[in-house]
Amino acid sequence: MNREWRKLLYYWENYYNMRLLLLCSISICLLFSCQHESVDDVSQVQPHILWISVEDISPSIPMYGDSTIETPNIDRIALGGTVYTHAFTIAGVCAPSRSGIITGMHPQSIGTMHMRTGKDVGGVSKEKYASDIGLKDMTGGNVPEYSAVIPSEVKVFSEYMRREGYFTSNNAKTDYQFAPPMTAWDECGLEGHWRNRQAGEPFFHVRSTVVTHESRIWAKKEDSLLVDASLVPIPQHFPETPIVRQDVARNYSNIKEVDGQIGQLLDQLEEDGLMDSTIIVFWSDHGGPLPRGKREIYDTGIHVPLIIKVPPHLQDHVLGYTVGTDTRHFDDQMISMIDLAPSMLSIIGVEVPDYIQGQAFLGPQRAQQERQYVYAGRDRLDFHYDKVRIVRDKNYLFVKNYYPELPNYMDVRYRRQMDMMQELLQMNESGELSGDVAIWFNQTKPKEEFYIVVEDPLQLNNVIADSNYRDEIIRMRFAIDLWENELNDYSEQPESEMVANMWPDLIQPKTTTPQIDQEGLITIIDNTEGSSIAYQLSDSPEPTDDWDSWIVYDTPINADGSKYIHSKAIRIGYKHSEVRTLKL
C-alpha cells in the first residue's frame, strides 16, 4: 500500500468532518487520474525521472566539441535539453564521488572520502567485513574493511522520494562507501526497472552502465574497434605510440558502444509512452579512464558531461526557462555533482534538508545565485594515501597539496592492468619521457598549484609563482580555506581512528529492534539515532527478503486485513536490527 493511500485511510478512519472527506475525495480522483500516461494528464502528476549513469567518461563527445565519434543517442537527450558545460565531480574516483552524489554531501564531511571502504558495490551489503586486509594508514594504524557510518541526520535522497510516493529503482551499481539502505530503493539489482512499478506511480530510475569503465580498456582489448585508431586525437600529455593509440581508440569505441545501450533505453521510454513525462539526466561519476584522468583532481579527472532533458511543459518549472524541442541549450553555470540530490528533491516538491551541502539548480528551490566555485578532494586510493584539495571557478584551478613530498602518480595496482599504463611506466623508468608527458611522474609536487584553465585545459603549466595572478591566487586560496573550515573534515584524523570511532572495538554497530504498537492504526518506533524504519504487511509469519516487499515507514499504518506486520530499523553504516513481528 503506497504512501498516499495510507494517508487517505488514516483520515477516513479517524476524522469525519466534511472538509477532510472532501479532501480525500479530491485526492482519490487525482490518484485514479494518474493511471493514464497521456500528455494531457502529465501536467497533473509528478514527473518521472530517469538517471543514465555512465562510468568513467570525460566530455569526449560531440556535444562538448569532440567529433572523434558520433553519439546519436546522447544527442537525442541533448536535443530539446540542456548541456551543462561546467559540471564537476567532488572526487576523481567512483566510490567517494557516488557517496556525494547520493547524499548531496562532500565525502570528507561524512567519512566516505577514502577509496574504497569495503565491498558494498552492488545492491546487497556484505555479511562480513575483513578485519585485516593489510592496509595501514599514514600513522601505521590498521584499516579494515568497513561500511562508513555517516552523520545521523544524513540520508540518501532517494529515501525522501520514496516517502513522497515515488517508485525508486536502481540498476544496479551502488558503491556508496556504505551498504545501500533498504529504505532507499523499492528495487536494487539487475532486474530493477520502472516497468515494475504499480500503474500510475511516478518513478525515479537509475540505470548504470559499465562499458566505459576503466577495466574495459583491458577487458575489451581484443574486441573490434569502432573507430580508426590512426585517426583518434592523442592528448599532449601522452606519448605517440601504437599502444597509446590502441587504448585511446578503445576508450572512444567503448563510449560509442554505450551510446547504443542508451538508445535501447530511450526506445523503451518511447514504447511505454513515457518520453513526454520523463526528465532524463545523463551524467558520469568522474573523468575518463586513461592515465592522468580517473583518480586525479585536474579537469581530466573531475570534469564530466551532464545533459538534462526536460519535457517542454515542465521546462519553466524545472529549468526556469524554455528550451523547445528542436534546439539545444548550453548552460555554463558551475555545477557540483552534489547539487544533483537537492535538485531532484526541488523538482518533486520535497523541501531540501538543511544539512545538504549541494545547492539546487533545478526546480522551485533552485539557488538565486549560481555557484562561483566547485570543490573536490583526493584521499586514499586503494592502498595509497595522499591528501589534495582543489577549488575551481570558470577561469582558474587552485590545488592544495598536503603531502608535497609524494608524487602525483599513485602506483595503483588495478590501473597497471592497462597496456598503456605499463608502457608509460617502462618509458618513465628508461628515461624516455620528457616535457608534458613526464610531469605526472615527478617525484614530488609543489605545495600549491594554479592553472589558467581556458589557456591550459589539461593543467600542465603551473603558474603559482606568476605575480601577474597574485590577486586571483589569494582569492582562490581564501576560498579553499573557507570551504575546508566549513567541512568538518573527517580526514583530519587517521583513517584507523576514524573507523574506530565509527565501529567501536571494530565491531559494526547495530540498530535496536523497533517497537510496534497497535491501537487502531499501527505505529512503529525505534530508538537508534538517525535510523529509518522499513516494514512489510504480510499473511505470513516470516518476512521476505525482497527489496520491494519493504516499505519506508512514514505515518501510522492501516493493516488493511493483513495478518502480520514485520519491521526493522536501518541506519547507514549499521547492521540492520532484528525483525520485529506482530500478529495483528
Residues with catalytic roles: 94
Q: d(Cα 543, Cα 537) in Å, to the nearest integer?
A: 9
CA distances from residue 221 to 209, 232, 238, 387, 417 in whole angstroms, order as listed: 18, 16, 19, 33, 11
Residue environment code for 5-22, b if the CB has 16+ CB neighbours within 10 A, otherwise e:
ebbbbbbeeeeeeeeeee
User: Taking a C-beta distance cutoff of 8 angstroms, is the pair 36, 227 a contact?
Assistant: no
User: Taking a C-beta distance cutoff of 8 angstroms, is the pair 304, 87 a contact?
Assistant: yes
Q: Tell me which DSSP letter residue 437 carries.
A: G
What φ, ψ does residue 336 adopt, rounded to 5°? -95, 140
User: CB within 8 A of 347, min separation 6: which ones?
Assistant: 47, 49, 279, 317, 318, 362, 363
User: CB within 8 A of 316, min separation 6: which ones?
Assistant: 322
Residue 334, SS3 per DSSP: strand
What is the identity of the amino acid at 14? N
User: CB within 8 A of 210, min separation 6: which ones?
Assistant: 55, 173, 216
Q: How many CA atoms lie within 13 A of 426 on its CB side?
A: 9
Q: d(Cα 534, Cα 513) in Å, to the nearest integer?
A: 11
